[in-house]
Structure formats: structure tokens, C-alpha cells
Amino acid sequence: MNVIGVVPARGGSKTIPRKNVRPLAGKPLIQYTVEEAKKSKYLDRILVSTDDFEIAAISRDVGAEVILRPSELATDTSPTEDALIHVVETLRKNEGYETDIVVTLEPTSPLRTAELVDRCVETLFQTDADSVITVSETRECLGRVVGGRFEFMLKDQPRRRQDREPLYKESSTVYVTRVESLLRLKSVLGERLYAVITRDDEAVDINTPLDFVMAEAVIQWRQRRGYGNGGTN
């Protein structure tokens, strides 16, 4: 099967202007994702979908292919799935290349490892899944605030954190989707959704300036322990 990695990276960002090319520990943010994706055993091609020429230039320099997406697919409200489908259809139209599996790698998760990407692809291969996502564990007491009152989502949880039942939250780190499901449902989340649990240090998702600070701290922590920025030896 043909497995492609797609990095959706538009130029606009309101919370952090020029986020995808902003330096993180000395390298543009998007560079981390492309460099680690290149180490995967399963990704046949790595493509960056962007509307931005600076992002395109950096991506090519670090070894990715680039597909320029039209501006109407790069607005603040444009679903990521539209960009993924555009990549699949562009490869089919321009090259006759048929994609079987799309691995979505958001550039805002720069600390994922190739090993994690490969575990997700292998989960798809080894099960009846039509999609696989990464999740991270939490033992926090979650709830809702209704009319000023706090209501626990799970009642009567132990007060000691280690005694609580673990919950899992979508980490946005890796999405693996069969193309048939992507095209039919217009979603990276299929009807047979499996999960791979990721480490906390891989699940850093950069959406605010503080997230950049946290990501740099994790990179420094990894380096002190003999790991590269991507987290692998």
C-alpha cells in the first residue's frame, strides 16, 4: 500500500503569527516534523500542504515535497481534511499516484518520534481499524462549570491521583487514516477508530507562546539525557 505523510501548514496564524516558521531551539517549527517523518519505516512520501512560499521553501530544503493549496483551503475555518483530500486528489490527477493511507502530522507537534508514527501505522495494518489516533493519559479530575457550579464528569473519584482510573485525551500528535474512509467521511476519524498511547513529552502541542517555552524546555531535557531534538538516539 502507498502510505504518505502529510504536514498541513498554512501561513496564517492569529495566536502566534508565522507560527510554522518560528524558531524553536534554533530551527523552524516545521523542520522538526519533516525531519522526524523522514526516519519513518512506512512513509513512502512526505508532503507539506501549504499556501505560503516561505513554508514551502523551508520544507523543500529539509527534504519534503510541497503541494501548494489554494487560498480557499487555507482560511481560519478551513478543515484540515480539505487540505488532505486536496493532496490525495492532486497526486492522482498530476501523477496517477493512488494513495492508500494518509498519515497526518501537524507541525504544531514537533516532539513526536518516528517510532510513534510507525506504531500508529502498524496498528492500522494489524487491526480492522480505518483510522488510528494518538492519545495521552490523564488522571485529572475533569468536569464542567454549569451556572458557576463545578460538576465532575466522573463521580466519586479517589482523592489520590494514583488511585484514579486513567482517562485518555486526543493528543493531536499522529492521525493515520485509510483514504477510502477519508474521502467518504471527510474526516481523519473513521468508524473503526483505534488509539495509540503516547508519552507526555511527545504530546506537546504548540498553540500559544507558552507552549513554545514548554517545548524548548523538553528539548533541553532530552538533550541532557542524550537524546536528539526528535527524541530518538
Q: Which DSSP string corresponds to 70-89?
A: PGGGSSTT--HHHHHHHHHH
Strand partners, 77: none
**Maximal CA-CA distance, the chain:** 58
The verdict on residue 159 lying in a domain is no
The cell numbers describing 163, all together, are: 488511585
Helix (H) or strand (E) holding 5: strand 3-8
The verdict on residue 157 lying in a domain is no
C-alpha–C-alpha distance, residues 110 and 37, integer Å: 10
Residue 23, pLDDT score: 95
The cell numbers describing 27, all together, are: 530551527
The verdict on residue 133 lying in a domain is yes
What Rg, from alpha-carbon coordinates, does the chain have? 18
Residue 12, pLDDT score: 81
Helix (H) or strand (E) holding 215: helix 209-224
The verdict on residue 143 lying in a domain is no
C-alpha–C-alpha distance, residues 174 and 5, integer Å: 10
Residue 15, pLDDT score: 80
> Structure pTM?
0.92
Residue 150, pLDDT score: 95
Residue 233, pLDDT score: 35
Contact in structure between 191 and 181 (CB atoms under 8 Å): yes
- Look at the chain and report how many structural domains it folds into: 1
CATH number at residue 110: 3.90.550.10
**Closest to 67 (Cα-Cα) out of 9, 2, 3:** 9
The verdict on residue 158 lying in a domain is no
The verdict on residue 185 lying in a domain is yes
Residues in the chain where the model's pLDDT stays below 70? 227-233
- What is the chain's length? 233
Cβ density class 110-138: b for 16+ within 10 Å, e for less: bbbbbbbbbbbbebbeeeebbbbbbbbee
The verdict on residue 233 lying in a domain is no
Residue 133, domain extent:
3-138+168-224
41-72 residue pLDDT tens: 999 999 999 999 999 999 999 999 999 999 89
Residue 231, pLDDT score: 43
Residue 224, pLDDT score: 87
End-to-end CA distance of the chain: 29
Other CB atoms within 10 Å distance of the CB of residue 102: 27
Other CB atoms within 10 Å distance of the CB of residue 188: 21
The verdict on residue 232 lying in a domain is no
Identify the burial level of 196 via C-beta atoms within 10 angstroms of its C-beta, where 0-12 means exposed, 13-18 middle and 19 or more buried: buried
Strand partners, 23: 28
